[in-house]
Structure 1
């Protein structure tokens, strides 16, 4: 990974993992790749997610528990003419933050840990509450028939692409085009571009 796009701030990586609702889990068994989108929660260097007791995901993990989860926080598509008047397609790009988590997956067998994982997932996806806590006995049957997995992270990498290293002229040109287009995602992109701009290029 190029050092200029690598996220070196662990706090930012944690913020991405705590805010993005789903990621793509990459698995491989018998030299056959398989990827699946999963809702997840990040807690103390562990990724928790859940699924069915039977199915392709579980079968792959049983055969090979090495895995990688990719998470993307999307921002604006940047048209080629947003930063260049050359007429070339090359400047066209896409702005985003991303994190990849590599490690080994375990099946969560302890009931209390399953409750903890599912409670954390609910707190992330439904922070307003309005549900019975997962340690209520009413959930016991449902929890027992749900498979909970945990990805123990061995390597964590983040990537930030928000034009932060562009020359000021191109950087400002992109902001002007995003302002003129005015989508909600463009407004968020501008905020993030300005917050992450490398000072030496301003």
Structure 2
């Protein structure tokens, strides 16, 4: 159902893909918007419990799109270094496909805590708890991941292989 990465030598391992998701602080959610137009919106998220979680107002374009058609895509850019003399960028990114849903009950609270810990871990726990308890006007949305891939620039692949001693394959990577 999901396409394989065309340049599979640039595919990140599952561990590297998860590391990107854990270290990044924002991504772009793409869904089926109004009037059959794609709707892509940047947002803060947490990768926790093998899912992507984010908060949302209870009304608006994003929540309308998700409730109407829950299949979504979510992308994260971890690295994007412009290399002008090579007319390219050295990049590392992740793309997620899954179904978005509103999270309820204890899982909502646990996911909310995961978000707060990611973005406000330096705040007092009592203040974090007060913020969570007082935030009744937001949904927590989960993306149940059906497919996830990470990819990086071939230059990073070559560098990593060189550093790990795989010199015989370096020149054959294109």
Tell me the TM-score normalised to structure 2 length: 0.82
2: CA distance, partners of 1:36 / 1:198: 40
Aligned residue for 1:122? Answer: 116
Q: Is the 8 A contact 1:26 1:36 kept in 2?
A: yes
Where does structure 1 differ by over 6 angstroms across 4 or more consecutive aligned residues? none
Q: Which residue does the alignment assign to 2:19?
A: 15
**CA distance in structure 1 between the partners assigned to 2:157 and 2:48 by the alignment:** 32
1:23–1:71 contact (8 Å) kept in structure 2: yes
Give yes or no for contact 2:53–2:140 (8 Å, CA) kept in 1.
Answer: yes
The whole-number CA distance in structure 2 between the counterparts of 1:6 and 1:125 is 28
- Residue pair 1:28, 1:60 contacting (<8 A) in 2 also: yes
Give RMSD over aligned pairs.
2.5
Q: What is the aligned residue count?
A: 164
CA contact (8 A) 2:26 2:43 kept: yes
Contact 2:79–2:91 (8 Å) recurs in 1: yes
Q: Within the alignment, does 1:27 sit opposite 2:31 as a pair? A: yes
Superposition deviation, residue 151 in structure 1: 0.2
Q: Identify the residue that residue 108 of structure 1 maps to in structure 2.
A: 103
* Mean Cα deviation higher: 115-124 or 61-70: 115-124
**Which has the greater radius of gyration?**
1
Change (3 A) 1:39 1:194: farther
For residues 56-84 of structure 1, give each alpha carbon's deviation from its aligned partner in whole angstroms, at most 9, with x where no partner exists.
1001111100000000012421012xxxx
1:158 is aligned to 2:150: yes
The whole-number CA distance in structure 2 between the counterparts of 1:96 and 1:196 is: 20
Question: TM-score if structure 1 supplies the norm length?
Answer: 0.72
Q: 1:138 to 1:48 in 2, by over 3 A?
A: closer
Gaps of 5+ in 1: 81-90, 172-191
**Residue 46 (1) aligns with residue 51 (2):** yes
Pairwise CA distance, 1:38 = 1.0
1 CA distance for matches of 2:19 and 2:88?
A: 24
